[in-house]
Chains A and B, each alone.
Chain A
Amino acid sequence: MNRVNTAKFSLIAIAIGAAVMAFAHWFHVDYLFFASYTILQFIVLGTAWNILGGYCGYVNFGSAAFFAMGAYSSVFMHKFYPLPIPVLILIGAIVCGIAGLGMGYLTLRLRGSFFAIATLALAVVLQTLVVNWEYVGGSRGAYIIRPENLEFAGITINYIEYLFALMLALAVIALATARVIERSQLGFGFATIRDDELAAEACGVPTLRLKLIATTLSGAFMGMAGAPFPYYIGYLQPSSAFGLEYAVNSIAMPMIGGTTSWVGPLIGAILLGSAQQYATVTISSAVNLLIVGLMLVAFVIIAPNGLIGLVQEHLRARRKP
């Protein structure tokens, strides 16, 4: 039954995405593709963060590091041996999955806060490495010339539409994975870690192995979100790839939406992502980041379970007057 649901779920998600795509294609609105690409990217990042943060209760502040690692593995491959983007996404996933596993292995055996601190420091160090690595552009950054169109089986596809479709597929995969995890034994294992790790360990839950699975999955999805980014942006610079906005957004979106379910990051990413697109155009990008930061602080204090938690509380209150 679960499998049927997942298939149905994926179909519905793809149908919604295809509708958006057809709409934008029909009206020739390129901006809509650019804007919704960013939102889809944040859906992937937020969902990836939530697999570790929301399900296991371990905070990863290094989303920007994983994202940039994915992006820079694409830049490296672009210079070394150009490959189609789906392959690059796979490479990004492998690189970041291994990085996540390594980080987790070194720090997750200790108290939870050490992992958080290590991820925070990881971003600074990777940025140092990339700045000193001339091959991928160093501190000057790297240009990736994006072709205008893509020829595929005799059909010409607009490149930004192609990127959008890829990111849409990634978002569907990420959401479906999160949803499957939530309902599987793995998800219950994660939840025991979140609720009481010591008790879980005592009951025979292999906590370290589960945590490592979560960090690997989470890192891999963040890398996937980053891999097509150089082609989207055209010019990749260390300070933009490692921007703190990726770290703060991928935490703020699940926190604002709600961390216990796959719906949370989705709602958070759509709400916060569209609000930011709007604010960046109308106000300024610094102010919009300030708003995200303030919303994060406000939500963790006032509504610890996010919007989903607020809705659930409201429903519960109505049920028993």
Chain B
Amino acid sequence: MDISFDLLLNAIAAGLLLGGFYAAVTAGVSISFGMLDIVNIAHPAFVILGSYLAYFININFGVDPILVSILMLPVFYALGTAVYQVYYLSFEKRGQESLRGLAFFFGLLFVTEVTLILVFGVDYRYVEAAYIGPSIHIGLVDLPLRMLVPCVSALALFGAIELFITRTFAGRAIMAVSQDQLALQLMAADPIRIKRIAFGISIATAAVAGALLIIIQPVEPSVGREYIGRVFAICVLGGLGSMPGTLIAAMLLGIVESLTSTFYGPSWAPAVSFGFLLLTLAFRPAGLLGR
């Protein structure tokens, strides 16, 4: 099979756009799993919850999905802090996070999915917005706005998180917790409070990621499962909590998935992330930019 040049170019462009979106989905996991060491496998479920909220408000009140997600940020933040509080009191404090904490998040994932199925059914849902149809053409490359808008918003979100973590006091405190929790305690700071804030932020990003997801593709409750492999593959490859690493890894996975679905068919795409994850764990567990 000879690979035509513009097909290849388009696949790479689509992969970059997809990668930008993956970065937004992974940002939350990079904070919770990468920095706080909380294995929040329920994160994709919160993303899907964000999708459905965006869908519900968009269909009933005609509000733009991205605007909805920004309005939802405080709600998701509060939800995140509440989840962390339960997690801390029931598992982290007792040192049982490895087995029961994981089961707890798995239960959350499951309960969210089944609740969404009971409320909305298993039909695919989609949103309506002006930028979902058209696309821009630059030379040989097609850039559908349906992908471009989420990618740009995702990069904006990602940049905002990076700035927050490196420039603000609270952000640096989160970095400090991720480096040495005990040292922080010795300096009379409360690591639990900082972790609660950080976990709240990580869940808040799921609101935005969810809205972007439902712009890119129609959503049904079990779509989230495909993202578990993806986000953790990106997070591990990105070097657990390194924001620039996460962005690079997300772009890489986006490109590889896009090439796979262009040249082998879209039904193979979900397998790519797992291959990525296994190869990373086997050969480079410290991630791309890891020491």
Contact = CB atoms under 8 A, between A and B. Distances in A.
Interface of A: 53, 57, 59, 61, 106-107, 110, 112-114, 116-118, 120-125, 127-129, 131-132, 194, 244, 247-248, 251-252, 255, 259, 286-287, 289-290, 292-294, 296-297, 300-301, 304
A257 to B, nearest CB: 13
B27 interface: no
Contacts of A131: 267
Given A286-B117, A300-B103, A301-B104, A124 B110 contact: no
Nearest to B104: A300
B97 to A, nearest CB: 9
A280 to B, nearest CB: 14
B110 A118 contact: no
B103 A251 contact: yes
A110 B100 contact: no
Chain B binding site: helix, strand, loop or mixed by DSSP? helix
Contacts of A127: 270
B233 interface: yes
Interface of B: 33, 39, 41, 86, 90-91, 94, 96, 98-100, 102-104, 106-108, 110-111, 113-115, 117-118, 222, 225-226, 228-229, 232-233, 236, 265, 267-268, 270-271, 273-275, 277-278, 281-282, 285
B203 to A, nearest CB: 17
B40 to A, nearest CB: 10
B285 to A, nearest CB: 5
Contacts, number: 126
B107 A57 contact: no
Is chain A's binding surface mostly helix, strand, loop or mixed? helix
Contact of A114 (B91, B103, B107, B236): B236
Contacts of B222: 244
A8 B228 CA distance: 45
24 contacts: A59-B98, A61-B106, A113-B33, A113-B98, A117-B228, A117-B236, A120-B228, A121-B228, A121-B273, A124-B226, A124-B228, A125-B229, A128-B271, A248-B107, A286-B117, A286-B118, A290-B114, A290-B118, A293-B107, A293-B111, A297-B108, A297-B111, A300-B90, A300-B104
